[in-house]
Chain A
């Protein structure tokens, strides 16, 4: 209907699947070629995405983007692929950052027994994620939603000989399924009231739906978004998900999959625009998650867990951004976060790889002298995530924070500024403890290019190049695209979808954007100063091991127990469920269900015994009964006749 078909998007979508199938089927024969194959196919997919720029942004007769129909089932249930500015941005990140991370994995996973399986899973994940963002309907979205959860499960539990990895994978899967069920209920509500699953039909019908209904749909959708994007209280799986290989953490649990919730809210903007209470809910949850994740990040010692909590916190920012209605702001933060968080994870991967899987920053220290490349990578990543002016994170984070004020949420605005300061504190804490001072570990870090006695070797060019490439956008993309308010390339790119940012703002804030940036920067400086004073100043460096030990011992219980969220879930849900299961196993099943069956058998047998005693086998007895019966009839009719 006016939109342009674009068959190339099908190729873009299916190439990673081809990679997965090839790696899976011919893994043992392809061996190390698997990595190059998977990376190559994703790379081609990325080039196709770049080539699709024009088709995705064209605006023909009011219809935005390219729409490729695939299957028509029945009226209202058409499946197809939709490439518009929003899905294009996600496709860029999935295939582009995905390509770099798969490339990096060739080095990182080198020597792993399940080399081919890893690349099959990674390719499968990218196919699933593309299904999620390219679908033009809610059911296709849910299919992608489920498949990325499955891919995440496979990859968290990749080293399945580790008990903790298996437990983490299971936890992630179960919590994600809670979200999937929420999504499913949203789709039930949509189908029952709109009789269509297509985005276009649903959004066109949104103004006609009642407020309560729209709120219910948004709530159910957001349960899915919260589970996938690790929002409070469904966030507990994300830190545990760090059991997977580091490239997995970078791609799935930082750059792409966990931002699916942001995509969902941004995609369903027409629904959220019709329900102020749904927006408030999403924005509040996002703000709480941003703050909670940041606070927990200050108490971690595992480098990947610090990054996991920072991911949770940054996704809180994004969710808050799309929640208040600053859609392009939230998506901008997703865009820059994908670069600098992937960079931070891959940088952490360089360190972990060189230190023979040591992840505790207390056992690091002084690494900047031994691994200067990793240090500079981490430093630029930290500067970007903290929102230091000039770096990408600055532009996107400011868009989100200022968006909260523009859309009339001063409290969330305040929480975000505080969170920015805490972010600076824990990110610099990680950087200082791991890279400054004296080396405190036992494992000897390898020099570049030299084989160590353990058989692992320091990161080669295969691992360094993707990280170096990522540094460029994580430093520059924000300034290049997101500077200039309504007239920035970014705002103009999204204007056909959402309108310009200031046209949607409901309030003219008393504080200007410049002052906001200044205040955020000052809190960042404060966070940095505290981290410097505690971990990097000369006094702190002098007795670093003792200080770190003291800090570990004096860590408040509320932080080491992660705000007791796991504890509460354990008490409120897991244990009652187990009790219920035990009750059914001990009482209901043996006594009620089995008992009913046993009783039935008993009475059937009793009745059979009774009745078969009549079957004497004596012909004459049968004859007698026959005659007696006939006599009864005769007597009955005789009496009846007599009475008449």
Chain B
């Protein structure tokens, strides 16, 4: 008996909000990056779930593209974090606010 699509949607929503909360609440850029990955994967889960439900493979392929982009984004994000926080002893995004108005 297959799992209903609504369960996947609910799970994706839960994962997405965990990611949003992580970005908003945590101050460690590494954790924030991981939270962004969570949100992306919630999206991936939805893509795959709907592709399965409507028997259309385009969603599966999109999921792979998203994974690729997410990998690139993680690489760039990590590079930015490393260069930004190299002179600092602690990593805290609230310390990086030189672009305030």
Contact = CB atoms under 8 A, between A and B. Distances in A.
Interface of A: 611-620, 623-624, 627
B99 A615 contact: yes
A619 B96 contact: yes
A614 B100 CA distance: 8
A616 B23 contact: no
A617 B25 CA distance: 16
Interface string B22-35: 01110100001000
A624 B24 CA distance: 6
A620 B97 contact: no
A618 B97 contact: yes
Nearest to B98: A617
B24 A627 contact: yes
13 contacts: A615-B99, A615-B101, A617-B96, A617-B99, A618-B93, A618-B100, A619-B32, A619-B93, A620-B24, A620-B27, A620-B93, A623-B23, A623-B24
Contacts of A627: 20, 24
B27 A617 contact: no
Contacts of B24: 620, 623-624, 627
Nearest to B17: A627
Contacts of B20: 623, 627
Contacts of A624: 24
A614 B93 contact: no
A426 B5 CA distance: 122
A615 B100 CA distance: 5
Contact of B94 (A611, A615, A618): A618
Contact of A616 (B25, B27, B32, B100): B100
Nearest to B99: A617
Contacts of B100: 615-618
Contacts of B23: 620, 623
Contacts of B98: 617
A637 B86 CA distance: 44
Contacts of B32: 619
Given A616-B100, A623-B24, 18 more contacts: A611-B101, A612-B101, A615-B99, A616-B97, A616-B101, A617-B97, A617-B98, A617-B101, A618-B93, A618-B97, A618-B100, A620-B25, A620-B93, A623-B20, A623-B23, A624-B24, A627-B20, A627-B24
A616 B100 CA distance: 5
Contacts, number: 35
Nearest to B36: A623
B84 to A, nearest CB: 11
Contacts of B27: 620
Q: Which 7 A-B pairs have the closest CB atoms?
A: A617-B100, A612-B101, A615-B101, A617-B97, A617-B99, A623-B23, A619-B93
Given A620-B24, A627-B20, A627-B24, A613 B101 contact: yes
A612 B101 CA distance: 5
Nearest to A614: B101
Interface in B1-47: 20, 23-25, 27, 32
A613 B100 CA distance: 8
Contacts of A617: 96-101
A623 B23 CA distance: 7
B36 to A, nearest CB: 10
B99 to A, nearest CB: 5
Nearest to A619: B93
B94 A620 contact: yes
Contacts of A619: 32, 93, 96
A617 B101 CA distance: 7
A613 B23 CA distance: 22
A623 B26 CA distance: 12
A612 B99 CA distance: 11
Contacts of A614: 101
Nearest to B27: A620
Of A612, A613, A627, most buried by chain B (CB within 10 Å of CB) is A627
Nearest to A623: B23
Contacts of A615: 99-101
A623 B93 CA distance: 12
A86 to B, nearest CB: 79
Interface string B81-101: 000000000000110111111
A626 to B, nearest CB: 9
Interface in B56-101: 93-94, 96-101
Contacts of A616: 97, 100-101
B26 to A, nearest CB: 8
A611 B100 CA distance: 12
Contacts of A611: 101
A116 to B, nearest CB: 69
A623 B29 CA distance: 13
Of B32, B93, B98, B100, most buried by chain A (CB within 10 Å of CB) is B100
B59 to A, nearest CB: 21
Contacts of A620: 23-25, 27, 93-94
B1 to A, nearest CB: 30
B89 to A, nearest CB: 19
A611 B98 CA distance: 17
A519 to B, nearest CB: 96
A618 B96 CA distance: 7
